[in-house]
Amino acid sequence: MHITVVGSGYVGLVLGACLAETGNDVTCLDVDARKIEGLRRNVLPIYEPGLDALVARNQAEGRLTFTTDAAAAIGSAEVCFIAVGTPQDEDGSADLTYVLAVAEAIGRHMQRELVVVTKSTVPVGTAAKVEAKIREFTDRPFHMCSNPEFLKEGAAVDDFMKPDRVVVGVATDVARQVMGDLYAPFVRTGRPVIFMDIPSAEMTKYAANAMLATRISFMNEVAMLCEKTGADVDLVRKGIGSDARIGPSFLFPGPGYGGSCFPKDVQALVRTGEEYGAELSVVRAVHAANERQKHVLGAKVARALGGRVQGARIAVWGLAFKPNTDDMREAPALVLIEELLAGGATVAVHDPVAMHEAQRRLGTRVTFAPNAFAALDGADALVVVTDWNEYRHPDFARIKAALKRPIVVDGRNLYDPAKMRTLGFTYDSIGRGR
């Protein structure tokens, strides 16, 4: 099948490479000529485990190409995916400028009957707007479809190749048949392709992310209460997660969620509710709780240092919003670092893959350590923000020797409190007491 994916960012690149892997001829179209040139040389604009090999292999075998030529890419397509960004507007809604620009390009350049698929995260009603925009520029037949993505950064390739479900919103039998054929190789083990109407598919994406964000914010609030009552949030998490009605996923307390999806999608869902006269008070509270949670680590550091951070040197391990990605969008580490700098501290940071992105965001205001232990030299405290594997079992004797004061604030509950006390650390974590 001849497929064009418009947008070569996180979603579009994973989508294009994985569809090419199953034998389709895929063209990834982007307006960023520099990005496209890099991709032709197998230089990826994002870090995602396994994606580089997938791109290189399918380019070498001729199934995956990259271009800035909209007329050629759209004109040859049987299926056209819209996978451009939908940044958050000032009022919290999703900005559809790029999506509608692609719709216009499709209308101008399509040469055959086409299935048009919105893959970008978009609010309910977007497919209808895309359809109307396309019809302004063509009278050729086409079929609208909504196919929200549910990829986890750091595991996106596996998520796409082995999905737990595929959600597809369609309005015609043609779209249903084409999308069923396209996803058949990925659901051979019996995982479902769930067909539904287009508005329901659009809503499913936002509802799923809001539910996951709710679990995170809920557990963070439980952790806060555990600290005040003397309960251990790790034991509470295990106790409720073993309930089959609840399950264990997304119940780990931490410094708040970040990334490109949860913060933006939660606020966009609230904004959609406002537009339709529905007060989504639970979803609104999830966002508020998460914003509060991002300040927890800063408060813990200040308390451990006697109430203020002025003049202190703080080591920060982990900058990306989660492990196995270089994505720092809405990362809790950014909130912590800004608070520390504003309080008069100096900051040394380390992250296995996000250092380049951090340099772009933070410039010369922090010290970038070449390795995790180099960040500790002369520091008054260590703060663990992202749960990378290399931070899980460090040499504690080396940590203690490098720190001026043996203070560790563990934002991911990686270490055992009793062990840390035995080793002589002043140790604080999330929801497990001090």
**Residues acting as catalytic residues:** 261
For residues 68 and 30, the answer to whether their CB atoms sit within 8 Å is yes
Compute how many other C-beta atoms are within 10 angstroms of the C-beta atom of residue 6.
30
For residues 179 and 151, the answer to whether their CB atoms sit within 8 Å is no
Compute how many other C-beta atoms are within 10 angstroms of the C-beta atom of residue 284.
16
For residues 258 and 331, the answer to whether their CB atoms sit within 8 Å is yes
**At residue 5, what are phi and psi to the nearest 5 degrees?**
-115, 115
Structure tokens at 429: 């974590």
Helix, strand, coil percentages in the chain from 3-state DSSP, rounded to 5:
45, 15, 40
Strand partners, 317: 350, 384
Distance CA 98, CA 121 (A): 12
> Which H/E stretch holds residue 93?
none
For residues 314 and 380, the answer to whether their CB atoms sit within 8 Å is yes
Sign of CA dihedral 362, 86, 116, 160: positive
Give the CA distances from residue 196 to residues 130, 171, 334, in Å, rounded to whole numbers and listed in that order.
18, 9, 39
Strand partners, 350: 317
> Which H/E stretch holds residue 285?
helix 281-293
Length of the chain: 434
Classify burial at 181, counting beta carbons within 10 Å of its beta carbon; exposed 0-12, middle 13-18, buried 19 or more: exposed
CA 313 to chain centre: 30
